[in-house]
Amino acid sequence: MAHALAYAHKEGFAHLDFKPGNVFYDTESKHTKVIDFGIARPLKREEREKTRYDLKNLGALTEAYASYEMLLGLEPDQRDDIYGLACVTYGLLSGKHPFNRKNANSAKSEKLSPKPIKGLNRQQNKALLRALAFDRDDRTPTVDDFLDDLFPEKNPWRFLVMLLAIVAGFATWYHFYTPPAKSPIITPPLVKPCEQSTVNILKKAEEYMREERYIYPPGENALEKSQQVLVLCPNNEQAKKILGQLADFYEEQAQYKLNKGQIGACRDNIDNGLRAVPDQSDLLALKARCQ
């Protein structure tokens, strides 16, 4: 996802709405994609002057991942994406938003500071803090610099350290996904095996819906948790209900993007909705209109 942003910057564009919901993992190609460039803007001054705009009036910003300057309506800069990238990276490694989902303006006013992530060394935590700086001039200037700070070449164990941090971030997923060991002595209770094995997974799915972790991060989102429940217990009504809610949500998003003429974003939202309910008739009809 970092390389996708770097490519956009080199092509002269800032994404300006980088957040978990706009990162899509393609299970078939095994590639991570950055989607929804609906409010992306050119970085070159002469191009910006051709189309005046006010990001605050677009109604499309996700404030928890928007930089301080974006909330002020300042001119776009690639460092705005660096802030969003750092928020997502911090969440991926820790399972939490660096400022408890407070926007940069509130976090700055309250003088909040992200807690160091266990498993990262001092330099790597410092790299995240630099990328999360509220003031643009103090923030990491480029994606490449962010990656270099996070994965210093002089450290031969850099990838192992990061891998361990990611493993720690997904420890909860492993705990709930792995069924408890069976005892050869104790007689199992007289309940359906699928009901017994999906209780905790379903609770996580419901929790992720409340937290708006619909399809991201991988393995720790409402979509995948609900699908896990249905693998174990195909007739679970609550899991089906959650998937239906996800399909309805992405249908609304797709319709909104279509009305604005953002065909690519419309298709992306349709694809997300069909991941939840592949045969949802409204989504399939909308897909035909987005061709």
| Per-residue pLDDT in tens (0 to 9) along the chain, 291 residues | 888 899 889 988 898 889 988 888 777 777 788 887 777 888 865 544 444 445 444 456 788 999 999 988 888 999 999 999 999 999 988 889 999 999 999 999 999 999 999 888 999 999 999 999 999 999 999 999 999 998 876 444 444 445 445 444 444 333 433 444 444 444 444 445 555 668 888 999 999 999 889 998 888 899 999 998 888 888 899 999 999 999 999 999 999 999 999 999 999 999 999 999 999 999 999 999 887
Residue 216 CA to residue 207 CA, distance in Å, equals 13
Residue 211 CA to residue 93 CA, distance in Å, equals 17
Per-residue pLDDT, 278: 93
For residue range 69-91, list pLDDT tens digits in order.
Answer: 998 888 899 999 999 999 999 99
Cβ atoms of 80 and 66 within 8 Å: the answer is yes
- Long-range (24+ apart) CB contacts under 8 A made by 206-213 are 206/238, 206/242, 209/242, 209/245, 212/21, 213/20
For residue range 171-215, list pLDDT tens digits in order.
Answer: 433 343 344 444 444 444 444 555 566 888 899 999 999 988 999
Q: CATH top-level class for 2-167? A: mainly alpha
* Composition of the chain by helix, strand, coil, percent to 5: 55, 5, 40
Strand stretches in the chain, DSSP E = 13-14, 23-26, 31-34, 41-42
What residues does each domain of the chain span?
2-167, 170-289
